A and B are shown apart, each in its own frame.
Chain A
């Protein structure tokens, strides 16, 4: 077990190095720089700025400097937010994305799993068809349609929520619903498929034959195997959820990491893009590892070694 974890973490090092290197060079290849603007600064001003941020050095040297700092956990300065470092920006924005992501995950799990189980119990009933149709609709409806619709109904019409900004937990309800509904729909479909398969297994028949109630069959016997596909889906999905969604953050003006990430690319904020990408990569590695561990715990047939 520990060896498995250690090996996975060691494997992450070359991955992260590759991600950092590719991002570094791809950004430098993009035309335009962090200091270009419509008001074209004088050449001496530009030269000064570039010297201050070390952009006047040879590219190889800049790259080595970057890696050296990265090794020490220093992700560098931001050009656009001149008085903030990338570390500060991530430290400020990630907790917001994390909260939003977890709330969305809760929406996905709370709505998705019961719906899937319900549909699996009576696969051919009209009610299951309705549930699964709604789920399909949830997958098809993009956030930039659902978000404004929820905002119109719940915030503007009935004034239940604020719809821009994040001050209290209440402000996360609409974004979490928007972000979570797609995942809820997906979880519902996966749950249904997994459950239908599991409920056809011999050991379930045995449990039923022994007189176990349907509730007991699902909560004690079927859920581990039935939810395995959901868990393997949720690993990468959680990484996606907690790293922030640009669309949902923009619709509801949530100061999470997604907005910083997308805008930093447009601003050519080299260190901010690089820092966020490396941070994302690390998170995804972690989430995948966690998903593997949870799956192994749920299904003893899976061997880690």
Chain B
């Protein structure tokens, strides 16, 4: 791959050392003798190539099987669903469908596809492609992690579990080449937002999959450069594992004239320090994150490139309600009330993260979380006394489990100190490697365990569903029939006001019962070169690279 004579004959003779030495010397001299070369950003601005850091190497590019944010950033640039999101407002906008109708009861969505849709290999794309793609997602053999997202559609779950054998019995219908209809199981006003954000709704080119081992086979080579066929604004040019991944403009895209970037290069830089240095060195237009110790510097010296945006993610601790005193709701609520979240956000996080008393982040259009008591140490002490632990006496030694990470430890230490000071309870800190933490969460082998949740769509449902009885993601052992009933009721109506009323009540229950204690809502902090225009800044970190362009002036 990078042959320079050395790699081809690694151990052949003793001449290799002097040769390698000489080349290293020559390179060093060349390097030191030259004028500064054009930086990647300067070259990118000239050629219309956006250079961005993507946090980590992606697993794959199959829109139906991958999850994760780095994957999302790549896959949504390659594939386009029926609708897309506006990268500022997150409003659903026409994508592959030029318009749609929604029935009065909110159950039937009829999408009218554009007449000029093509795959990146030039073949026409029709409603049948959407139908086949959605059938593939629901094929249990594919093991699509997020297949559940399609369960809002009539009989989709039944087809997935095998109770319904015929796909024609589901709510997916291709009425003709250009008309695609989705009939829902129950109303879902968030459907368009979910289709726009999540690539599991994207169409894929099935003939390509058949060529590389079949449509329901995992881990085939159909997503490799040269094989992959897509329908989005960009197509795959090159992928060097852990090196970079390059996309270039897709000439067959229906709106190609509006796409102003000629290409995008994603770098899987996992070290925050490295990406910050690379940004300063002019190698990156956009970073994935910003290491927090650098935040103050950028705030003071280079505010023009610093971005701080609210992010649809909440940070919390799960309490195991099967463990000793944590079974008592008064104890759990006392723990929640004793935490000074303002101090946590202001003195420890210091990146603009907002304190959280409830789980749904602010910013969901039209939704207002209920008022719940803010931090109140006095009330917390009273509740603890009522539960039989006055000033913490007799409280057993419990531990806080978190993944091994500097920031997680700092937060756990702060909470440990607050609980000690306000309630007289002392917790042990137990850090565990990430996979160990997850394994312990699965087997409920913890007292208190650290977690977070990223919303899948702009609706309270995505944050509240997971605490229902029997949900795999609940992970606290908590179960409340009234809560379950409210979430179920919200799922039955298309009336937003009614839905939001249910969610507000559910949030109130959650705050009283406190099986989970939220602490703060994330802030996305990153660096953006000033030559990048049309950049999307929104709650979901949705790039919308179709609208991005480079203009150094």
Contact = CB atoms under 8 A, between A and B. Distances in A.
Interface of A: 30-33, 36-45, 48-49, 52, 77, 80-84, 89, 92-93, 95-96, 98-99, 102-103, 105-107, 109-110, 148, 151-152, 155-156, 158-166, 169-170, 172-173, 176-177, 242, 250-253, 255, 259-260, 263, 266-268, 286, 290, 294
Interface in B301-353: none
Given A30-B435, A77-B219, A107 B24 contact: yes
Interface string B21-35: 111110110111010
B435 A36 contact: yes
B11 A43 contact: no
B17 A106 contact: yes
B274 A252 contact: yes
Contact of B143 (A49, A158, A177, A290): A49
B281 A163 contact: yes
A156 B284 CA distance: 13
A260 B277 CA distance: 22
A31 B435 contact: yes
Contacts of B363: none
Nearest to A84: B241
A156 B277 contact: yes
Interface residues of B, number: 76
A29 B4 CA distance: 42
7 contacts: A52-B218, A80-B59, A81-B59, A83-B223, A103-B24, A163-B278, A163-B283
B4 A266 contact: no
Contacts of B278: 162-165, 253
A43, A110, A290 — most chain B CB neighbours (10 Å): A110
Given A99-B4, A107-B24, A48 B141 contact: yes
Q: Which of B10, B224, B436 lies at the interface centre, i.e. has the most chain A CB atoms within 10 A of its CB?
A: B10
Nearest to B22: A106
B31 A160 contact: yes
A166 B243 contact: yes
Contact of A95 (B1, B16, B143): B1
Given A32-B435, A48-B143, A286-B11, A163 B277 contact: yes
B31 A170 contact: yes
A294 B24 CA distance: 23
A36 B442 contact: yes
Contact of B31 (A83, A173, A260): A173
B277 A39 contact: no
Given A32-B435, A92-B1, A165 B271 contact: no
A172 to B, nearest CB: 7
Nearest to B3: A95
Interface string B141-163: 10111011000000000000000
Contacts of B280: 156
B39 interface: yes
A172 B273 CA distance: 19
B219 A173 contact: no
B31 A93 contact: no
B32 A160 contact: yes
